[in-house]
Amino acid sequence: MKIKTPLILLIVIAFLNISCFEDKDDNQITGSSINDFVWKGMNLVYLYKDNVPNLANDAFNSDEAYANYLNGFSSPEDLFESLIYQRETVDRFSWIVDDYIALEQQLAGVTTSNGMEFKLFLQPNSNTQLIGIVTMVLPNSSASASGLIRGDVFSGIDGNPLTIDNYISLLGSNAYALNLANYNDNGTSTTTDDTIVSRNESISLAKVQYTENPIFTTNIFNVGGQNVGYLMYNGFTANFDEQLNNAFATFKSSNVQHLVLDLRYNSGGSVNSAILLSSMITGQFNGEIFITEQWNSEFQAAFENEDPELLISRFVNNDDGAALNSLNLQKVYVIALESSASASELVINALDPYINVIHIGENTAGKYQASTTLYDSPDFSRQGANPSHSYAMQPLIFKSLNKVGRTDYFDGLTPDVELSESYLDLGIIGDENETLLAAALADIQSPTAKLAPIKSEKEASLTLFKDSNSFKPFHNEMYVDKKLPFNISN
């Protein structure tokens, strides 16, 4: 989740009192310079600093003790990981990279991709063999050019059966042949007699640098005489905010009265894009609270002492002066699954106190914290970054609260209508007969009819193993581009 704002925060380092020892980087301190950057950045802004003893301002009683501590780690990654608070349960999302160029590209929507998104499942009656099911084919990609379609099944790569031991190396290759298969359910409702049958057909895919437009598809349906807009939005990517506003211009000019927002594969991105999207959906809440930020105790006190308004993000009616095309809706249907994370969840949570949000799908990922990129520079910004390495960190820095204070949804957001995709019959994204979209359209057609949860016995017995997001190091992100309020000399 990322907030993009031109606001320069007017808080000085004195408010934070973070200097616990003399900085001797320029005096040949013996600790690793990269480790020094890691510790200082985490000590400054980490959301859970108060819970990590080694991040306390008085953790070291001398420069020598600090240097010895830094030298006790074999890599910056090891130090960083040692400073994470409860990795498995609380902070699942902070990370460090040794190539911030790749990080910046992915946050901008630029990746190395063949255009195939997929989910991996254990084969019936096996604990080791896998099958893959294509969930999405990105336009103008190797996958789309090859004729691959959503719902295609594959069981091998380059003639090698896909297993839990080799899937990373096989699918991680830059070029490979996808061995297609058919899933044969033998006409029964259980998986015990199901088989995977080779199609004796392969599709060659190649990964290239690819810029993904997060606006995957839009449509307008007429349902009971009402115009219903549909938007599948796959990433909160700031570089495409203008295109998002253009999509809403079409909705607005078409007198759209309802909106189905499809975030099923959207793992997050820019908080500012989330604010813009939410403001386009509504429009009648300009200036009202979108979210409030809660930082570590030192930052929180500094913000509250200087200007509490700095902790608040509000609904807007323009993007850098360009008027937003807002629909002024009182209700929105949001399709969200377990793969919907961070900024996707933020939209649902932030809109909920204001309008009726009908969440169709599954419990979401459960990420309510935001991060920012820290570079090894005097003020942790990109400018002046140490040219001797390309390490950067993306630590969690605050958690988001909606207008009524809702946060800490560890287990995700619970759907109003529990539905899952039928992976053996996925349907066409944006088609009115596709399971999840059809549920939303049915409720618009007859809002008094109660939608029952749908999950077949066969679907329930398929065991999900991994999905293509596993190959994306920076997925499930909610990041801020907020200038830190400091002038720090390392």
Determine the CATH number of domain 113-211. Answer: 2.30.42.10
Which distant-in-sequence residues (6+ apart) come within 8 Å of 370 by Cβ?
Answer: 1, 2, 3, 271, 293, 342, 396, 397, 398, 399, 400, 478, 479, 480
For residue 358, the cross-strand partners are 333
Spatial distance between the Cα atoms of 428 and 434, rounded to a whole number of angstroms: 6
Ranges for all domains in the chain classified under CATH 2.30.42.10: 113-211
User: What single-letter DSSP state applies at residue 413?
Assistant: P
Spatial distance between the Cα atoms of 201 and 181, rounded to a whole number of angstroms: 8
Count helices and strands in the chain by DSSP H and E runs: 12, 26
In tens digits, what is the pLDDT along the chain, a chain of 490 residues? Answer: 443 333 333 333 334 434 444 444 444 443 489 999 999 999 999 999 999 999 999 999 999 999 999 999 999 999 999 999 999 999 999 999 999 988 888 777 788 999 999 999 999 989 999 999 999 999 999 999 999 999 999 999 999 999 999 999 999 999 999 999 999 988 887 888 899 999 999 999 999 999 999 999 999 999 999 999 999 999 999 999 999 999 999 999 999 999 999 999 999 999 999 999 999 999 999 999 999 999 999 999 999 999 999 999 999 999 999 999 999 999 999 999 999 999 999 999 999 999 999 999 999 999 999 999 999 999 999 999 999 999 999 999 999 999 999 999 999 999 999 999 989 899 999 999 999 999 999 999 987 655 555 554 445 567 889 988 877 655 555 656 655 554 333 3
Ranges for all domains in the chain classified under CATH 3.90.226.10: 1-109+213-456+465-490
CATH architecture of 1-109+213-456+465-490: Alpha-Beta Complex (3.90)
> Residue 161's closest CA among 123, 188, 134?
123
